[in-house]
Amino acid sequence: MTIRNARRGDLPALIEIADSTGMFLGGELQSFVDVLTAHLDGADGAAGARLIVSCNADDTPVGATYSMSETMSQRVANLLFIGVLPASRRGGHGAMLLDDFEADARAADMRLAIIETASDAMFAAAWSLYRRHGYAEVARVADFYDDGLDKLIFRKRISGADGASGR
């Protein structure tokens, strides 16, 4: 397994990874593909945005993260997307991607890391991963994604008052 910045040629694999998560409703997948394409083309303009892939030995992406610093806050890193192809889940790709996100956030002197996700039980394995990495569920926005589908916000202090390492 390796971690690297995504490249333009990774776009088909990124779309497959995103689609395999089941997290996108209606036209949301196309909107996310537009974000990925803009990022890969250098046109997204997002502050501190990173698109990272986790690859098998043959350099084929099987997992990905998309993250950025929050512009309307002080030193907060937001993991907007994390996904791993079903055949590669439980193989360490998600943990490695999450560790990379945190390491980058620390290197950028972020004080908090947040992850926003949906309340659908199909994401229970992801919530477990976040909790094992020291994240706590700190907020729930009812009906955010759709009626009956809440937004969950997980938070972890990665530097500052609660300790520099966050673990």
- Tens digit of pLDDT for each residue in 118-149? 999 888 999 999 999 999 999 999 999 999 99
SS3 of residue 167 by DSSP = coil
Asked whether residue 163 is domain-assigned, the answer is no
Asked whether residue 31 is domain-assigned, the answer is yes
Domain total of the chain? 1
- Looking at residue 152, its amino acid is L
| Domain harbouring 16, CATH code | 3.40.630.30
Is the Cβ–Cβ distance between 69 and 111 less than 8 Å? no
Q: Which domain holds residue 107?
A: 2-157
Average pLDDT over residues 77-82: 94
Give the model confidence (pLDDT) of 84-117 as tens digits.
Answer: 999 889 888 999 999 999 999 999 999 999 999 9
Contacts 24+ apart (CB under 8 A), 36-41: 36/6, 36/11, 36/66, 37/11, 39/6, 39/66, 40/6, 40/7, 40/8, 40/10, 40/11, 41/8
Asked whether residue 166 is domain-assigned, the answer is no
Is the Cβ–Cβ distance between 89 and 48 less than 8 Å? no
With 60 as the cut, is the pLDDT of residue 163 above it?
no
